[in-house]
Structure 1
Amino acid sequence: MSSSTALLTDQYELTMLASALRDGTAHRQCAFEVFTRRLPHGRRYGVTGGTGRVLEAIENFRFGEDELAQLADNRVVDERTLEWLRDYRFSGQVDGYPEGELFFPGSPLLTVRGSFAEAVVLETVVLSILNHDSAIAGAAARMVSAANGRRIIEMGSRRTHEESAVSAARVAYLAGFTATSNLEAGRRYGIPTAGTAAHAFTLLHDSERKAFESQVAALGTGTTLLVDTYDITKGIELAVEVAGPELGAVRIDSGDVGVLARQAREQLDRLGATSTRIVVSGDLDEYAIAALRAEPVDGYGVGTSLVTGSGAPTAEMVYKLVEVEDRPVAKRSSHKESRGGRKAAVRRHKETGTAVEEVVFHPDSPPELGPHDRHLQVPLIRDGQRVDGLPTLEDDRQRLRHALVTLPWEGLKLSQGEQAIPTTFRQP
């Protein structure tokens, strides 16, 4: 993160900072908590995404001379606040759910402890990351479940902001997507990349045959040929003629892809290309993927619905002050109530491994643990430094895969319903 991203801080945060520095309350020790009051309509679970990016953002959160000049020139804050920001380094503590962990309404996803001044300026950058990445992760997990083990490729870069595209590809991989077409995500995070030609490549050439010949010459017979630019039946025939029965895959990007996939499978088998895979794309979401489960589809390419959270582009998380100098504080506004005091959480499981309850409690008053219960929050930052040995993206990917298996079977349904497991709040 460059220093300029410090200006992701909202002006109202700096207004509070300046006022607190003036009246002497800025250095009171506080705890802020990230949670959501509700899941997106009809969703039964949420997926924590973006924790790793939040830690990087906090570590590198700086106000450089350019940012300070911007604030001074526009008289956003006074000189005292500018001097405080010049030396800003977060020195507090952060605990939270690791990436890939499931969450529910009221789950304490992130707890930030430090002085009011240090913690309050992080609100916007923390929420912008967690709200976006968790929304995409939740949608992606539903799509992966619907795909039922078939390959699924993220290809939504053209449907969102350029930086959002990279982070969306990252959490799609976290959720179980096989690969991404976004090369920057591949470079930055080591995610497998994949992709094939678009219709423009076919239209560029004098004939579909010449386009296929060019692609096979460049990439080999294992490539994926897009066969529906003109007539799909003729396209498949040409694809096998050019690449031979060892053709890697054909892609269908339009029409009734279920019907077309069946026809394509029959035609490929008749032509001897029995190992050639069929990949479908074109406005797919989790419902369309589930509807194709019985069709001879080997893989899916998903774009717009993924990077927009499949109708839920935010996880609706909030960042609320819950404790001041060890004293619980809480908002009482109608329909926006919060619960005071720091919190931690335990997930209870049956002996079979099925999750049955999430218990939220004050860290000083933990519940008695059963043999299959599991603490959810883990230490993330201590004294401003990231904790050693935190899980990798691959570790988090496996965590989510396991967590989804622990849900009751009703919790994986795509239909509208209650949250997969209940949340119980214990007062200290």
Structure 2
Amino acid sequence: MAPRSLATTVATGGTTAIVVATAASAVAVYVYEVIAGRALGATAFAPVGMIWTIGFLGFTVVLIPVEQFVTRQLVLAGGDARHLGHAARTILLVAGSVTVVLAGFVALTRERFFEGSWAFVGVAALLAIDRALLAVGRGFLAGRRRFHAYGVAIAAEAGALVALGIVAALLRPTAVAFSLAMALAPLAVLVTRPFRPSGSSPVGPEATRVGVVGFLGWFVVANAASQLVLAGGPIFVGLLGGTAAAISVYFITFTLFRGPMTSSYNLLARVLPDFTELARTGAHARLRRWALLLGLGGLVLALAFAAGAAVLGPWIVAFLYGAEFAPSRLVAALGAAGVGFGLAGLFVAQVFVARGATRRLAAAWLVAVVVAGLTMFVAPGAPIERVAAAFVAGEGAALAGLVLLAVVGDRR
């Protein structure tokens, strides 16, 4: 298969299906939260929020690397799933580890966060197992270029979440029931039959063999570091002495602003197969050009987002959540700029995934964590301003490091 340009990729119908499904998914999550929140109230909803949080972290840090590993291997193997055989045990071990960690966390904190109920332990384990199935299933769909089906999988999970949430509200409106709905929704990926036999092109095993442990291990390190920069802000605002109100302002503002980044995870499945084809065919000069263009695009986005957020950000947050949650113009601008850098960084990272160079990916993000940490301690201002500065510095350093390593660090 001849590699296609990214522009051609984005112009095809599969991209539209993924974008539309992602938008529908965002709406579905909001509807589910409204249903559960109104049925339970703020206090009783807390365990549902905790289950959602640990499930999100488990998926983004560990299971997205599994999905992208499967995608890459199937692209290299021409869709032949037999080339995943050597990695099956490792994937099962990773899925099992996520299950143990999530269930173990709930077991250890059930008195504090989960009403003292052991039922949440089972729900957490089921959530991890089903999300692992979702990750592998989506990897099969993307790796075989079934992009319309990938969009259907996103929409099906979203629809299942809302439907099961309605059932929980009508039959048994408890935190356990709503959490169970969340855990079962990923099974909707099976409607796309992701594992059905597929026609494949014969590819020698030497073309697809990769050190799965090293690939996934460094990928997990990179994602953990990126999530620390992206989502750890409220914790650091508190550690620096910020008030409860400042923590809430940071959480609301940055959760709202990073919505485009969260939604973009689904679009990575549309880019990685083409980048992998470029890497497989030795078109590394084109990959370097894409990394440079994406990096420059990230700089433009950061500046544009910062300018827009400085003017409109506080007003938008106040309109949606109330005036008490409105950030300062400086905090809004810093947060939006970081999102601009982060969006570009997500796609530049696909160059490293396509090449199987996740160690370099991890190196860039570990340096970014150091930059963010130093910025947080030397920046002037209130705790919320210092953490916001650390966020934009970390995301900017990550993007710069990724582009540098992609363009200069690999001269193949």
RCO higher in 1 or 2 (8 Å CA, sep ≥ 6)?
1
Which of 1 and 2 has greater Rg?
Answer: 1
TM-score (norm. length: structure 1) = 0.25
Structure with the higher fraction of residues in strand conformation:
1
